[in-house]
Amino acid sequence: MSTHFDLCIIGGGIIGAGIAQAAALNGLSTIIVEKRGWGAGNSSKSSKIIDGDFEGIPRLRFANVRERLRERRIIRDIAPDLRKVDWFYLPIYKQNIQKSWQVALQLRIYDALAGSNKLASFQHLPEKQWRNLHGLNRHDLSAVYAFQEIHIDDTQLAQNVLRSAKQHGAMALCPVNFEGARQSDDGFVVSVAKGSRNRDFDCRFLVNATGAWGDRVSRSIEGVKNPLAARSIKSTHIEFREHLSDNSFYVEGRKGANRIAILPWRGGTLVGSVDSIFSGNPERVIPSNEEVDYLIEITRHHFPHFQHEPFDAWSGLRLSSAQHRGVLSYKDKNLGHTDERYLCVRESQFASYRAVAERVVISVMRSLNEKTAPPPEAHYICSSSIQL
């Protein structure tokens, strides 16, 4: 095995895998290390939806929505075997905080921002079609909208992106724990361990793509003075063996809390998520009874006939998008004096993995290139046509 790399990526979730793919594609000698399994971290705990950040519209995150809609279209095209384009139904009740006209406006803007990246246009379902949504509570129902999003197997997506990275020359080590890194004349000496066996190698640039573990991992890297404390959000899902509907729904949470998705999943039904702030050990994230009860209550309120008990409940972590969206600049002062050769990624959605990878790899190339070389944007090879 080579012991010198241009780039070392810590963390083999969708973000690390995407960076490894983009880096290898652009000719960087790349190594990625993962301690558990490819895509086994929070990339396996999502709601399994590639959405265009519909909820970003009231928060005026238009640039982000546009990027996500573009990425949604690209993932639809490059991962045909992993995804399913589906209609999502959005029932609006008289007591909902968000009124029918507000949702209609939001959907109109969503379609407009999608432009040529649009799936089908949204629909306002006529009342006579409501009964086709079997089991949906129609008491006080005032409107139903439908729009298209994409279902995806999140773990499989991460694994396929990683496989593509390997096909383009990246070296991938798993299960291998990143133990720490010390500075060298030209980057870092990285220490990893597999069981009781330790190994060192050199890299010119180090990317921390461990998501919720990011702060802990940063602390074991020499020269990173002040790891930025990112806020983690715990999100909980429940799973039923029973099949509720062939359709997917977004329903309003209690007192205007975030929308809950109710989806067909692996022959049964997936419901989630309910969020809370988390500040513990990322290895120990478990659903509380209150969260599970809340999701059951929301499901039964909207589908009163569905009185089953969930067979499973699980929680995952994502980084708070309000605080730390996207990639921190490698010039960020908080990264200390290693800033030119170290970057910590903080992305809260897997749907953006390709766009994030592009930003990271351009930053890496800019840092490693000779000053006289043309800017990396000019010759960057994009992964948007590589089939997964």
Ligand X SMILES: Cc1cc2nc3c(=O)[nH]c(=O)nc-3n(C[C@H](O)[C@H](O)[C@H](O)COP(=O)(O)OP(=O)(O)OC[C@H]3O[C@@H](n4cnc5c(N)ncnc54)[C@H](O)[C@@H]3O)c2cc1C
Q: What residues make contact with ligand X under the rule CB under 6 A?
A: 10-16, 33-36, 40-43, 45-47, 49, 177-178, 209-213, 217, 235, 237, 273, 316-318, 347-351
Tell me whether residue 10 or residue 260 sits nearer to ligand X (CB atom).
Answer: 10
Identify the helix (H) or strand (E) that includes residue 91: strand 83-93
What span, in angstroms and rounded, lies between the C-alpha atoms of 368 and 27? 12
DSSP state at residue 135: T
What span, in angstroms and rounded, lies between the C-alpha atoms of 214 and 206? 13
Q: Which residue is nearest to ligand X (CB)?
A: 13
Local structure of 310: helix, strand or coil: coil
What span, in angstroms and rounded, lies between the C-alpha atoms of 181 and 102? 51
CB of 304 to ligand X, least distance (A): 26
Tell me whether residue 143 or residue 165 sits nearer to ligand X (CB atom).
Answer: 165
Tell me whether residue 14 or residue 119 sits nearer to ligand X (CB atom).
Answer: 14
CB of 49 to ligand X, least distance (A): 4
| Residue 370 CB coordination number (10 Å) | 5
- For residue 175, is the peptide bond before it cis, meaning its omega torsion is within 30 degrees of 0? yes
Tell me whether residue 25 or residue 207 sits nearer to ligand X (CB atom).
Answer: 207
CB of 236 to ligand X, least distance (A): 7
Tell me whether residue 100 or residue 191 sits nearer to ligand X (CB atom).
Answer: 191
The sign of the torsion formed by the CA atoms of 357, 178, 47, 103 equals: negative
DSSP state at residue 309: P
CB of 92 to ligand X, least distance (A): 22
Q: Which two tokens stand for residue 31?
A: 């190594």
CB of 145 to ligand X, least distance (A): 19
Strand partners of residue 309: none
Tell me whether residue 38 or residue 306 sits nearer to ligand X (CB atom).
Answer: 38
CB of 365 to ligand X, least distance (A): 21
The sign of the torsion formed by the CA atoms of 260, 261, 265, 268 equals: positive
